[in-house]
Structure 1
Amino acid sequence: MSQQQKTFRRIVTGHDDKGNAVIVSDAPPVHTQLVGGPGGPTFFEIWHTNETPALIMAQPGDRDEEGLMLPPPGNGTRLRMIEFPPEGEEIRKLTVADAVAKFRSMGEAEASTSSSSAPHPLMHKTKTVDYGIVLEGEITLVLDKDETTLSAGDIVIQNGTNHAWANRSGKICRMVFILIDGAAE
């Protein structure tokens, strides 16, 4: 099955030297990465902040990062879109070592909570509060003891929970995530 990625623009605003609001850039996201090879999700890294409160800069630009990073920077935020292709047998047959390797490729091997008794091989947990918004398609949120299917327009607020995403629909699912660095109480 051929799945074509839709393109989208990332418009960044700022200010000119007179303080007028202007468009600083208008282009597709600079950082895009396919995770885990063919059949894996594509991450579109849209923006991140390194601090809270976020710095409001006159001419904001991309901040350098080495490769894909799963969580936001400490005390920061991250905005990304992920295209989840339909889940195939290659995902369901992942070993614990395979799952850890996939999270290592996102800069956070320790996020993997995969085990032989886990409800999904790509279970993981981060110290973040995440807002996930389904733009297109449907996807199943898998938790330790529950699961629910989300459709376009649905929003999930994830509070540092152990989870995985399973696209059982047969079509691409596109989600936007806002990740906020967190701390356990």
Structure 2
Amino acid sequence: MTDYETIRRVVTGHDSSGKAIVVADEQVPSVAPPEFGGRWAVWAADATVSLPDDGTAPAAGTSQVPPPGGVKVLELAFPPKYNPDALLDTTELLDPESLARAGFMVDPNPRGSYGSLPGVAGMHATATVDLVLQLSGESVFIMEDTEVHLKPGDWLVINGVVHSWRNDGDEPAKLLGVTVGAEHRGIPKR
């Protein structure tokens, strides 16, 4: 079970002779407030990387959303009974600044364009394609008028859609996400 504070990251690279080596074995802190579980930036690059390399982390900003062509690898953990509505004390969509302070990602869509399922306080979309694997526990992926229940081994591909997350279970929900930056022009006209 994750303690929501740190995860271990081992990084490989090459020494000066080209031999494969471990260049770092370290604890990575969560970038989310503790009440929101854990969110760890495992690895990131804001541009194409070149190999072989020395294992130094590629250039990447602090945003959880990579620029087009960039990549972020995240581990996510939602505590038991996780619900943004309860944590944020509202069932209304929050303004972008409040969402960012709570650890949610920057949203390219206009405000007021979402539905009202449970968990909407954290509704957001990102300029990314997210490939998400449910590792353990179960989670609920929430869209404007649809919920998708994920179990261990389930994959989800999020193509820049409006969404939020919930954990209705009694155990932590742990997910792995690979986020690829993309162009996002906002919600398509309906």
TM value normalised by structure 1: 0.80
Give the superposition deviation at 1:103. Answer: 2.5
Give me the whole-angstrom Cα distance separating, in 1, the residues matched to 2:111 and 2:89.
12
Q: How many residues align?
A: 178
Give me the whole-angstrom Cα distance separating, in 1, the residues matched to 2:46 and 2:61.
14
Identity %: 22
Q: What 5-or-longer segments of structure 1 have no aligned partner?
A: none
Mark the CA change 1:64 to 1:19 in structure 2 (over 3 Å): closer, same or farther.
Answer: closer
Give me the whole-angstrom Cα distance separating, in 2, the residues matched to 1:110 and 1:91.
17
Q: State whether residues 134 and 151 of structure 2, in contact with CA within 8 Å, keep that contact through their aligned partners in structure 1.
A: yes
The DSSP-based 3-state class of the residue aligned with 1:83 is: strand
Give the superposition deviation at 1:91. Answer: 4.3
Mark the CA change 1:55 to 1:167 in structure 2 (over 3 Å): closer, same or farther.
Answer: same
Give me the whole-angstrom Cα distance separating, in 2, the residues matched to 1:101 and 1:112.
15
| Corresponding position of 2:145 | 145
| Corresponding position of 1:127 | 127
Task: Give the superposed CA RMSD.
Answer: 2.9
The DSSP-based 3-state class of the residue aligned with 1:180 is: strand
Give me the whole-angstrom Cα distance separating, in 2, the residues matched to 1:20 and 1:114.
52
| Corresponding position of 2:12 | 13
| Corresponding position of 1:174 | 174
Mark the CA change 1:90 to 1:106 in structure 2 (over 3 Å): closer, same or farther.
Answer: closer
Tell me which of 64, 68, 71 is aligned to 2:65. 71
- The letter of the residue matching 2:32 is L
Q: What 5-or-longer segments of structure 2 have no aligned partner?
A: 186-190
Moved over 6 A (4+): none
Give the superposition deviation at 1:110. Answer: 3.4
